Structures are given as structure tokens and as C-alpha cells.
């Protein structure tokens, strides 16, 4: 399936008030979660969709009326890319700044063996994988890491590596700052 098909499917789900997310898109079309996020970002930035993210429903919605423009793929797409880019350059930059940007949620895979902790983290968990692994989405890195640190459970960040490194650096800094002074 092409990106056009994926975007049209995603648009239909939003219009049907199904609150789709990147995980639904990746599962439906057997693409990576990151590619699904890029498709959502394309819908928002390139096609101008007024997308919002509902954390309670863990999915996207349109903040105002929106009609998906006709997308036609052809062999000449590359020829038109320069024209489209040139037209975008004429957009009123001040109007762009006045629009509040919606940030796509971050995603991570964590390993949690304790079922009670899984229940406590349900607001972040969007999917389950084998071996006690869970896909999570969260709006703020600091919020998510704070929840993991305060969970008082054995939780391991499987991916992405940069998030795991950020947690390790945070923990190291906390330990270093709270050492007993040498006498």
C-alpha cells in the first residue's frame, strides 16, 4: 500500500471519530511505527490537517473541519515537487507562527514484569508485545521518565536508545548530587 492509501485510511478513521494513532496505522499497513508517525506528520504539515491528539482516547482527531485534498500519484511527481515547494514559500510566515503547533507524542517500548505496574501505567500503554513488553506513547519526556522513576518497580526501557540513555544520565546525576559528603 502507498502512503496515499495510508493517509486516506487514517483520514477516514479520524472522520469516523475512531481516534486512530500511529500504532493502529502501523499494524493496519504492516509498516514501522516510525513510518506511521511520519505519515501523520505529513498529513499535518504538508497537507495542512488541523490534527489534535486526545490523550484520554490515545488517538488523533481533527480540531476543525478538514477535507483531505485530492492526492494523485504519477511518474511526474518529482517534477511538481519544486513547484509545490515554491508555492509554500509564499505562505504568510506570521500566520504560521500564530497557529499553535501540536506535538506528536513520543513513543517507547518498555519491559514491565509486574502486572500492578502495568495497570498503573495504562494511561501511557497503547499496545502489548511478547515478553512483558509494552508500547507507550507520552506527550512529555520529563513526565514519562518521572513516572518511571517514581513507579518503584523493575521497568526497563527497551527502545529508543536515546530515551534509555537519558534515564541513565538522569539517575547518575541524581545519585551524584545526593552522595554523602566526604568527612
Please give the residue that has the higher pLDDT: either 142 or 86.
142
In this structure, the number of other CB atoms found within 10 A of the CB of residue 1 comes to 11
- Asked if residue 8 is part of any domain, the answer here is yes
Average pLDDT in the chain: 80
Domain boundary among 82, 98, 114: 98
CATH of residue 35: 1.10.10
Say if residue 13 is in the same domain as residue 47: yes
Query: What pLDDT shows up at residue 104?
Result: 65
Please give the residue that has the higher pLDDT: either 55 or 75.
55
CA-angle at 44, arms to 39 and 46, nearest 5°: 85
> Between the CA of residue 167 and those of 103, 109, 132, 171, what are the distances in Å?
21, 14, 20, 6
Digit-coded pLDDT (tens) for 67-98: 877 654 544 444 445 444 554 454 444 344 43
Phi, psi dihedral angles at 72 (to 5 degrees):
-120, 125
Rounded to whole angstroms, the Cα distance separating 65 from 99 reads 16
Say if residue 91 is in the same domain as residue 12: yes
| Joined grid coordinates for residue 95 | 500566520
Say if residue 16 is in the same domain as residue 94: yes
Phi, psi dihedral angles at 136 (to 5 degrees):
-125, 150
Domain boundary among 46, 66, 98: 98
Say if residue 125 is in the same domain as residue 168: yes
- Asked if residue 182 is part of any domain, the answer here is no
- Asked if residue 158 is part of any domain, the answer here is yes
Report residue 158's pLDDT band, with 50, 70 and 90 as the boundaries: very high
Answer whether 0.85 is exceeded by the pTM: no
Report residue 20's pLDDT band, with 50, 70 and 90 as the boundaries: very high
What does the chain come to in residues? 183
Say if residue 13 is in the same domain as residue 36: yes
Number of domains in the chain: 2
- Asked if residue 92 is part of any domain, the answer here is yes
The number of C-alpha atoms within 13 Å of 105 and in the hemisphere containing its C-beta is 25
- Asked if residue 183 is part of any domain, the answer here is no
Say if residue 12 is in the same domain as residue 87: yes
Please give the residue that has the higher pLDDT: either 6 or 68.
6
Cβ-in-10-Å burial (0-12, 13-18, 19+) of 179 comes to exposed
82 Cβ contact list (under 8 Å, min separation 6): none
Find the domain containing 120 and state its range. 106-177
Say if residue 92 is in the same domain as residue 119: no
Cβ atoms 45, 96 nearer than 8 A: no
Query: What pLDDT shows up at residue 97?
Result: 42
| Joined grid coordinates for residue 68 | 483531505
Say if residue 134 is in the same domain as residue 117: yes
Please give the residue that has the higher pLDDT: either 118 or 96.
118
Say if residue 150 is in the same domain as residue 132: yes
Amino acid at each position: 500500500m502507498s502512503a496515499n492509501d495510508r493517509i486516506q485510511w487514517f483520514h477516514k478513521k479520524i472522520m469516523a471519530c475512531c481516534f486512530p494513532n500511529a500504532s493502529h496505522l502501523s499494524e493496519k499497513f504492516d509498516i514501522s511505527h516510525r513510518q506511521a508517525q511520519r505519515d501523520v506528520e505529513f498529513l499535518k504539515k504538508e497537507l495542512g490537517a488541523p490534527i489534535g491528539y486526545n490523550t484520554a482516547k490515545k488517538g488523533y482527531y481533527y480540531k476543525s473541519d478538514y477535507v483531505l485534498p485530492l492526492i494523485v500519484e504519477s511518474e511526474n511527481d518529482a517534477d511538481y515537487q519544486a513547484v509545490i515547494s515554491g508555492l509554500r514559500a509564499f505562505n504568510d510566515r506570521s500566520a504560521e507562527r500564530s497557529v499553535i503547533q501540536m506535538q506528536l507524542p513520543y513513543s517507547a517500548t518498555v519491559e514491565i514484569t509486574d502486572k500492578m505496574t502495568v495497570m498503573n501505567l495504562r494511561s501511557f500503554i497503547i499496545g502489548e508485545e511478547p515478553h512483558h513488553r509494552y508500547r507507550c506513547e507520552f506527550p512529555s519526556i520529563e513526565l514519562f521518565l518521572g513516572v518511571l522513576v517514581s513507579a518503584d518497580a523493575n521497568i526497563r526501557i527497551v527502545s529508543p536508545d536515546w530515551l534509555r540513555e537519558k534515564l541513565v544520565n538522569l539517575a547518575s546525576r541524581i545519585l551524584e548530587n545526593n552522595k554523602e559528603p566526604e568527612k
